Amino acid sequence: MPLVPTSDDFDLSRWGSLCEQGLRGHATAVAVDGIAAMILGPSGSGKTTLAFDLMALGADLICDDAIILQKSDIGLRVLAPPQRLPLIEARGIGLLQAGPMVDHAPLGMVISLGTIPPERLPSRRYALWDGARVPFVAVDHRHARASIILHALRHGFAPEA
């Protein structure tokens, strides 16, 4: 059955631009147990800070600030760009060695950071591109909890009603 986008869904084609390898855009991505979380947000919104928090809990960095999204037979996957360096920027501190890195992983979740009013039980949203969809969450950057993201990647969301 084809996907029917709702007004709450996030169209990833508006986020990135097409390139030879897929859809390229400004994001940070980590992998938890082989499943990628793609973190979106404006410069200074906390993308790298959330990535650092996830890495402290065992995630591997895919890439900081630039990723490529591709369609695969099992959905979407995140790839590091070919020119990726093994570094991550700590704002106000400098460039650091990234630690464990992976080149790609299937996309399990898209996280958008901003200043969003808290909603106790928001309706399920999805990020869509090229006929595939993954869970999409928009969180207030001041309250982005790495432990919750980690749990969702490992165990998933409750079934939809």
- Position 118 scores a pLDDT of 66
The reply to whether 79 falls in a domain is yes
Q: Give the pLDDT score at 2.
A: 43
Comparing C-alpha atoms, which of 117, 113, 159, 104 is closest to residue 136? Answer: 113
User: Does 161 fall in a domain?
Assistant: no
Please report, for the domain that includes residue 67, its CATH number.
3.40.50.300
The per-residue pLDDT for 142 is 77
Per-position pLDDT tens, the chain of length 161:
345 455 689 999 999 999 999 999 999 999 999 999 999 998 888 999 999 999 999 999 999 989 999 999 889 999 999 999 999 999 899 999 999 999 999 999 999 998 776 677 888 899 999 999 999 998 887 777 899 999 999 999 998 86
Q: What is the pTM of this model?
A: 0.91
The number of beta carbons lying within 10 Å of the beta carbon of residue 73 is: 5
Residue 135 counted as domain residue: yes
* Number of structural domains in the chain: 1
2 is a domain residue: no
**Domain annotation covers residue 4:** no
pLDDT at 61: 98
Rounded to the nearest angstrom, the gap between the alpha carbon of residue 39 and the centroid of all alpha carbons in its chain is 4
3 within some domain: no
| pLDDT value for 112 | 93
Domain presence at residue 34: yes
Residue 122 lies in a domain: yes
Residue 108 domain boundaries: 12-155
Position 7 scores a pLDDT of 66
Q: Which residues contact 103 (CB under 8 A, 6 or more apart)?
A: 62, 79, 80
